[in-house]
Amino acid sequence: MASTDPPAAAVDPAPSAGAEVLVIVAHPELEQSRANRRLLQAARALQGKLAPGRLAVRDLYALYPDYLIDVGAEQAALAAARLVVWQQPVRWYGMPPLLKLWLDDVLAFGWAYGPDGHALRGKDLWLVASTGGPEDSYRPDSYNRYFFDAFLPPYEQTAALCGMRFLPPLVLHGAHKASHADLAAHAAIYAQKLADYPDWPEIDAVEDCIECAVPSSARPTDRVVEPA
């Protein structure tokens, strides 16, 4: 990082809870990001243009630099939303650690899943991810060995267990090498979809979520561990 250009103050200006579209951003090195920083800026810019209560942006690494998540505030923001967006870079074929911790802490048993855990039922979940590797690296004959879709089941199943509908992800491959034009186009699509939701052409094709009720006999009643 160039010392002559100190990073702008990263403190979130009062993260607004209680909006229809809730964007959860998780990037551990936002200052080095090319794609996610653009996307975050696009979301914030859009937020200013939309009516209050339409869009909320929560930058997890800015809100919780010490990894101490305010569960109450997060659950309140989730409860108010219709669409939950996870905006993240793909790290080791999964999510950044703070987003995972957010899942562990916020999507609690008895709240997000399990008996009486219906807080998220009927909401939509949309993954907006970027990968460092180019699209053709996610092939059986390349170094990532699997098609990108092969890494999505944990996300899909998380949504399903909570009774959420998993919308088709928006993925930017090869973020390291994407041109400025590509990044700008990608950010524009992102902003457009956030603004249009739920009027997306593809949304009708998405099946309603599968009901996966966890029977109460499956575990000790208030055992809080990750869904297995």
Residue ranges binding other proteins (CB under 8 A):
1, 3, 6, 66-68, 70, 220-224
Q: State the minimum distance, in angstroms, from the CB of residue 222 to other proteins.
A: 7
Q: State the minimum distance, in angstroms, from the CB of residue 220 to other proteins.
A: 4
Task: Report how far Cα 151 is from the mean position of its chain's Cα atoms.
Answer: 15
Q: State the minimum distance, in angstroms, from the CB of residue 2 to other proteins.
A: 8
Strand partners, 83: 21, 124
- Residue owning tokens 């869009």: 55
Instruction: Please identify, using beta-carbon distances, which residue of 1 and 205 lies nearer to other proteins.
Output: 1
Instruction: Please identify, using beta-carbon distances, which residue of 110 and 134 lies nearer to other proteins.
Output: 110
Instruction: Please identify, using beta-carbon distances, which residue of 1 and 51 lies nearer to other proteins.
Output: 1
User: Coil, strand or helix: which one is 8?
Assistant: coil
DSSP string, 83-117: EEEEEEE-BTTB--HHHHHHHHHHS-BTTTBSTT-
Q: State the minimum distance, in angstroms, from the CB of residue 47 to other proteins.
A: 23
Distance of alpha carbon 78 from alpha carbon 38, whole angstroms: 24
Q: State the minimum distance, in angstroms, from the CB of residue 68 to other proteins.
A: 4
Amino acid letter for position 198: P
Instruction: Please identify, using beta-carbon distances, which residue of 2 and 51 lies nearer to other proteins.
Output: 2
Cα radius of gyration rounded to whole Å, the chain: 18
Q: How many CB atoms lie within 10 A of CB 61?
A: 18
Distance of alpha carbon 55 from alpha carbon 83, whole angstroms: 10
Instruction: Please identify, using beta-carbon distances, which residue of 67 and 146 lies nearer to other proteins.
Output: 67
